[in-house]
């Protein structure tokens, strides 16, 4: 979405109407994925039709099945039919999906908060627990993965379980993390706050163990521990969309394509990659964009502007995002806000929660369908985190 808006902005600034911007996606809507750990995930969809019409972006509904780099075409499947769409330049912004390794029972029995329909299935399941006999397994929910998403999900679950089972229910929420510390990627800075919040929420952790099997009634850890649970939520990592495999070029461990400072795929000059499919430097200090909305929004604006500038023969604006922050939701306890790659804690509790709610309900949402405002919001030099 941001790439399409930024490309439309660049064309508008040059008063060019001879270049068409086409956005291909399964639905004309933005799924507010960073919020899917919250209640009511089905409300986390924003229609884009009026916005795209306002800025002159053509929407093509369907899923890209094939990218032909040599012929500069994509094959789009829509309503069971294949259509070929030619391009002069392509921006791949296909995102990422939850990584599900080959663990027995994972696909069949574990829930997730990765996509809207998956988060909705989890919510329906939690409500269905009302009608089940009162057992320890019914009152136990295990979150596999103690990273950013796992922590935010686990922090919400004691209250959500009690809302379904009764405020006096002895609920048990457990995080299983294969590393020796909670939030391994977040580092030691915010960890004491995270540990305090989870303890006060009643969330416990099993550390230093992975998961070897999941079934209808619980799971088994790599340490041989059996945890009986009616609900298992898998949050352990993401991988770039598999369309990246159709584009020649170097990839990182998550499948992201290496791009230059303009977000052009280094091996294919007609293709740009952005968001969760791009391995992009944020500065000249060796830091690389995270798979997060914080970086995806700016990456999208930069890719859209630069792909249009490429066609117009204008100088690109290199992607740069030197300031890095994190704001981790800790459920009813509050949140923790950090600054810098060393993640120095700046705000905690209710004050950080207010910032998180502003991020989740305002900053990551699309602009209005007002043409001038929408195009202005797509400026690649726009500073969101000052």
Residue percentage of the chain with pLDDT more than 70: 99
The CATH label, of 3.50.50.60, 1.10.8.620, 3.40.50.300, 2.40.160.40, for the domain at 1-98+239-324 is 3.50.50.60
Beta-carbon neighbour count of residue 188 at 10 Å? Answer: 10
Residue 70 in this model has a pLDDT that exceeds 90: yes
**Per-residue pLDDT tens over the stretch 130-153:** 999 999 999 999 999 999 999 999
pLDDT value of residue 80: 87
- Written as six digits, the tokens of 181 are 């510390």
Taking the mean position of all CA atoms in its chain, how far away is CA 20? 28
Mean pLDDT within 42-61: 98
Residue 69 CB partners (closer than 8 Å, separation 6+): 246, 247, 248, 268, 270, 271
Residue 386 in this model has a pLDDT that exceeds 70: no
**Per-residue pLDDT tens over the stretch 263-308:** 999 999 999 999 999 999 999 999 999 999 999 999 999 999 999 9
- Written as six digits, the tokens of 130 are 């009302």
Q: What is the pTM of this model?
A: 0.95
Distance CA 49, CA 42 (A): 18
Residue 329 in this model has a pLDDT that exceeds 80: yes
- Domains 1-98+239-324 and 116-236 alike in fold: yes
Q: Which helix (DSSP H) or strand (DSSP E) does residue 191 occupy?
A: helix 191-201
**What are the residue boundaries of the structural domains of the chain, listed by start?**
1-98+239-324, 116-236
Residue 385 in this model has a pLDDT that exceeds 80: no
Residue 100 in this model has a pLDDT that exceeds 70: yes
Tell me whether residue 370 is exposed, middle or buried, using C-beta atoms within 10 angstroms of its C-beta: 0 to 12, 13 to 18, 19 or more.
middle
User: What rounded mean pLDDT belongs to the chain?
Assistant: 97
Beta-carbon neighbour count of residue 125 at 10 Å? Answer: 15
Residue 224 CB partners (closer than 8 Å, separation 6+): none
At the fourth CATH level, which superfamily is domain 116-236?
FAD/NAD(P)-binding domain (3.50.50.60)
Distance CA 64, CA 83 (A): 9
Residues linked to residue 143 through DSSP beta bridges, in sequence order: 175, 233
pLDDT value of residue 23: 98
Q: Helix, strand or coil for residue 195?
A: helix
Distance CA 336, CA 350 (A): 9
**Per-residue pLDDT tens over the stretch 16-28:** 999 999 999 999 9
Q: What is the DSSP string of 244-274?
A: GGGS-S-B-TT-PEEB-TT-BBTT-TTEEE-
Distance CA 380, CA 215 (A): 47
pLDDT value of residue 384: 75
pLDDT value of residue 79: 86
pLDDT value of residue 73: 98
pLDDT value of residue 383: 78
**Per-residue pLDDT tens over the stretch 301-327:** 999 999 999 999 999 999 999 999 999
Mean pLDDT within 153-179: 98
pLDDT value of residue 325: 96
Distance CA 312, CA 10 (A): 9
Beta-carbon neighbour count of residue 178 at 10 Å? Answer: 17
Residue percentage of the chain with pLDDT more than 90: 98
Inter-CA distances, 234 with 34, 103, 105, 128, 162, Å: 15, 11, 11, 19, 21
């Amino acid at each position: 979405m941001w790439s399409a808006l930024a490309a439309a902005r660049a064309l508008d600034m040059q008063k060019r109407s001879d270049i068409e911007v086409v956005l291909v996606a399964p639905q004309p809507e933005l799924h507010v994925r960073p919020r899917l750990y919250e209640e009511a995930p089905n409300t986390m969809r924003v229609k884009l039709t009026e916005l795209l019409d306002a800025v002159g972006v053509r929407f093509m509904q369907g899923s890209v099945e094939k990218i032909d780099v040599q012929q500069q075409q994509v094959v789009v499947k829509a309503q069971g039919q294949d259509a070929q769409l030619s391009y002069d330049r392509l921006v791949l912004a296909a995102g990422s999906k939850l990584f599900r390794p080959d663990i027995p029972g994972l696909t069949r029995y574990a829930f997730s908060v990765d996509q809207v329909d998956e988060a909705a299935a989890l919510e329906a399941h939690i409500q269905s627990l009302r009608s089940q006999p009162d057992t320890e397994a019914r009152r136990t929910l295990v979150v596999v993965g103690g990273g950013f998403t796992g922590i935010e999900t686990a922090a919400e679950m004691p209250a959500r379980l009690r809302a379904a089972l009764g405020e006096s229910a002895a609920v048990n929420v457990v995080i299983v993390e294969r590393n020796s510390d909670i939030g391994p990627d977040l580092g030691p800075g915010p960890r004491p706050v995270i540990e305090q919040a989870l303890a006060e929420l009643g969330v416990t952790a099993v550390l230093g163990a992975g998961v070897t099997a999941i079934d209808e009634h619980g799971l088994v850890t790599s340490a041989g521990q059996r945890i009986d649970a009616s609900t298992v939520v898998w949050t352990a990592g993401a991988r770039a969309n598999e369309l990246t495999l159709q584009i020649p070029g170097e990839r990182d461990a998550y499948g992201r394509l290496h791009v230059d400072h303009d977000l052009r795929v280094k091996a294919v000059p007609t293709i740009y990659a952005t968001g969760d499919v791009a391995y992009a430097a944020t500065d000249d200090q060796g830091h690389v964009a995270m798979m997060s909305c914080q970086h995806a929004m700016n990456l999208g604006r930069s890719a859209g502007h630069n792909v249009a500038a490429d066609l117009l023969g204008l100088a690109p604006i290199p992607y740069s995002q030197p300031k890095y922050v994190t704001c981790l939701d800790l459920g009813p306890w509050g949140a923790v806000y950090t600054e810098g790659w060393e993640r120095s804690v700046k705000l905690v509790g209710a004050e950080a929660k207010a910032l998180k709610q502003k991020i989740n309900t305002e900053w990551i949402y699309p602009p209005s369908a007002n043409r001038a405002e929408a195009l202005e919001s797509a400026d690649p030099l726009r500073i969101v985190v000052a």
